[in-house]
Amino acid sequence: MEWILSIFYPRILKEEIGKSTLLLKSLAIILMFIGAILLS
């Protein structure tokens, strides 16, 4: 959810949004979903 805010309202989180940051966050989200599927 925070990445959605950082895209539309970057001043709230004061975070740099680069391709590497978005890639890392997307990868982390995918890994969390995979982990949740494996645990259930």
What are the structure tokens assigned to 15, written together?
Answer: 């975070």
Binned at pLDDT 50, 70 and 90, residue 3 comes out as low
**Residue 33 main-chain phi, psi, to 5 deg:** -65, -45
Which positions ≥6 away from 3 have C-beta within 8 Å?
A: 22, 25
Domain boundaries, the chain: 2-39
Q: Which residues lie below 8 Å from residue 5, measured CB to CB, with a gap of 6+? A: 12, 13
Cβ neighbours of 17 (radius 10 Å): 13
Look at residue 29 in the predicted model and tell me its pLDDT. Answer: 92
Residue tagged 């982390």 (tokens): 28
pLDDT tens figures, 11-40: 655 666 678 888 888 899 999 999 999 998
Q: According to the model, what pLDDT value does residue 31 have?
A: 95
